[in-house]
Amino acid sequence: MARTEIKIGGFGGQGVILSGYIIGRAAAIYDNKHATMIQAFGPEARGSACSAQIVVADEPIAYPYITVPQIMIVMSQEAYTKFSPEVAEGGVLITEEELVKTHNLRKDLKHSSIPATRFAEELGRKMVLNIVMMGFWTSVSGLIGVEAMRSAVKVSVPRGTETLNLNAFNRGYEFGQTLKTT
Residue 81: strand pairing partners: none
pTM (predicted TM-score): 0.92
- What does the alpha-carbon distance between residue 118 and residue 41 come to, in Å, rounded to a whole number? 25
Question: CA 90: distance to chain centroid?
Answer: 18
Q: Is residue 48 part of a domain?
A: yes
| Residue type for position 172 | G
Q: Is residue 161 part of a domain?
A: no
- What does the alpha-carbon distance between residue 177 and residue 114 come to, in Å, rounded to a whole number? 12
The rounded mean pLDDT for the chain is 93
Q: Is residue 172 part of a domain?
A: no
pLDDT of residue 74: 97
Range 1-16 average pLDDT: 91
- What does the alpha-carbon distance between residue 128 and residue 140 come to, in Å, rounded to a whole number? 19
Cβ 38 vs Cβ 31: under 8 Å: no
pLDDT of residue 42: 60
Q: Is residue 145 part of a domain?
A: yes
Q: Is residue 57 part of a domain?
A: yes
- Domain hosting 19: range is 3-115+140-156
Q: Domain count of the chain?
A: 1
Q: Is residue 34 part of a domain?
A: yes
pLDDT in tens, 43-59: 545 567 789 999 999 99
pLDDT of residue 47: 63
pLDDT in tens, 76-100: 999 999 999 999 999 999 999 999 9
Cβ 175 vs Cβ 97: under 8 Å: no
In angstroms and rounded to an integer, the radius of gyration of the C-alpha atoms of the chain is 15
